[in-house]
Amino acid sequence: MNNETKFTPKDLDEELVKAKMLERMRDVIETAISKGFSAREALEIMTREIHLIRDEVLLHNKKAHNNIVCRELGVDDSAVIPQRQYLCALMRGSRH
């Protein structure tokens, strides 16, 4: 696994800060007011945009967990790993 890709888990709050979500929320509110959107429409827009970032973080973190397990078991990411073995390796690998 010399060519492995290293994944460090990401934090949703940190990623929202990097995306300048509070500033984006202000833009959405200002646009909603000027264009006559309802409060619910503005909230749906903000929620959708937050969920996009959340989904990216979740996918990244799943890949990070898989990387930890593969490293712990000494296999590459094409290995077929039973769930019980996966969880045990994840628990061991998370402690390092």
Q: What is the mean pLDDT of each run of 10 residues along the chain (96 residues)?
A: 63 98 98 98 98 98 93 94 94 78
Q: Helix H segments across 7-82?
A: 12-18, 21-35, 39-73
For residue 73, give the DSSP letter: H
Rounded Cα–Cα distance for residues 41 and 63 (Å):
33
Domain count, the chain: 1
Helix (H) or strand (E) holding 90: helix 83-94
Considering the domain boundaries, does residue 4 fall inside one? no
Considering the domain boundaries, does residue 1 fall inside one? no
Considering the domain boundaries, does residue 3 fall inside one? no
Query: What is the model's pLDDT at position 76?
Result: 94
Considering the domain boundaries, does residue 68 fall inside one? yes
Q: Is the whole model's pTM more than 0.75, yes or no?
A: yes
Rounded to a whole number, what is the largest CA-CA distance in the chain?
Answer: 57
Rounded Cα–Cα distance for residues 14 and 18 (Å):
6
Task: Supply the range of the domain harboring residue 39.
Answer: 12-94
